[in-house]
Amino acid sequence: MKQTILQTIERYSVIGIYRHEKPDPDALGSQGGMAALIQHNCPEKTVCTVGEDEPSLSFLAEMQGEEETLTASDSFLAVICDTANTDRIDGQRWKDADHVVKIDHHPEVEIYGQDSWVNTNASSTSEMIIDLFLSAREEKGWDMTTEAARLLYAGIVGDTGRFQFSNTTPQTLELAAEALRFSFDPTELFTRFYESDEKLVRLKGEVLQQFELSPEGVGVARLTKEMLERYDISINESSALVNSFSETKGLKAWVFFVEQDENYRVRLRSKGPAIHHIAAAHDGGGHPMASGAKAVDEQEVQAVIQELKEACRNYEA
């Protein structure tokens, strides 16, 4: 599939690179890294990156070029990074592309694109882009650039939590090492990723005081609208707290219920049993150890907690 994708890229002179909405470092890193690699190694091509800019990650990457240039051309290629299903793609014009390439490491939710490369063993889509780059280097003499290396390394760091999550494999480290040869500052990336606003640190204090830990090893935290308002924190910003008590001894899986106008946003994490099937049963999905869902009312909140307890009871480490 890597060869097929490289051949596809070669055939198009106008390429739009997409990723999922509400981008994380891997979405921006794989998107921007792919764009930088193509632009450097195929300078005659027009490449643009599409999606809403994410202010909290603007130090990492901002979108380059206009999506209109894609539809203004006779034909173009859309490369979609880190996005399991088409509903989550940030942008619309990819639908007009002559050819769509999917590159992703999430469990397959929706099969799309003429070329689809899904590797659930990869820590991140950024890791896959470095893997793709190695093939391109071998077969077509591609070079890495410092900017691509910085973005792709950042994506791996984001999705592996600085190489500490269980998705970190020997391959992850080997491919990250390819990026680390370049002269960007990884310490600066670590600092920018893991610094928090004071208001978040204060709310974290309240979460640490209030979360509940069940005998089964299920941690439950609630963020009410009142709490978010009191600390002036948006629902999206509150996602930074999801691992705030993950180091608690005896904890196997945990959940944050974030009160919204109509329902609860549910953030599920685990260091024991897989929990993505629980997310899928509650209007969500994601990875075995990190998923998101929705709960319509307190009854569904309780159902999620019970299902997590069940998963932890059945889990043998």
Residues that bind Mn ion (CB under 5 A): 26, 82, 124, 159
DSSP track, 60-100: T----S-THHHHHSS--EEEEES-SSGGGBS-SGGGG-SEE
Q: Considering beta carbons, is residue 26 or 178 the nearer one to Mn ion?
A: 26
CA 154 – CA 165 distance, rounded (Å): 15
Q: How far apart are the first and last CA of the chain?
A: 35
Q: Considering beta carbons, is residue 65 or 286 the nearer one to Mn ion?
A: 286
211: left (phi over 0), alpha (psi -120 to 50) or beta: beta
Q: Considering beta carbons, is residue 118 or 295 the nearer one to Mn ion?
A: 118
CA 270 – CA 289 distance, rounded (Å): 5
Residue 316 phi, psi (nearest 5): -115, 120
CB of 201 to Mn ion, least distance (A): 26
CB of 301 to Mn ion, least distance (A): 27
CB of 82 to Mn ion, least distance (A): 4
Residues 290-317 as b or e (16 or more Cβ within 10 Å = b): bbbbbbeeeebbeebbebbbebbeeeee
CB of 66 to Mn ion, least distance (A): 26
CB of 34 to Mn ion, least distance (A): 13
CB of 24 to Mn ion, least distance (A): 7
**Token representation of residue 18:** 């997409």
Q: Considering beta carbons, is residue 120 or 224 the nearer one to Mn ion?
A: 120
CB of 159 to Mn ion, least distance (A): 5
Residue 303: name the closest of 284, 278, 267, 283 by CA: 278
CB of 165 to Mn ion, least distance (A): 11
Q: Considering beta carbons, is residue 115 or 159 the nearer one to Mn ion?
A: 159
DSSP E strand boundaries for 215-281: 218-223, 253-259, 264-270
In the bound state, the residue with its beta carbon closest to Mn ion is 26
Residue 17: name the closest of 40, 38, 43 by CA: 38
Q: Considering beta carbons, is residue 129 or 221 the nearer one to Mn ion?
A: 129
Q: Considering beta carbons, is residue 8 or 124 the nearer one to Mn ion?
A: 124
Pairing, β 253-259 against β 218-223: parallel
Q: Order of strands across the sheet with 290-295? A: 212-213, 218-223, 253-259, 264-270, 290-295, 285-286
Q: Considering beta carbons, is residue 102 or 309 the nearer one to Mn ion?
A: 102
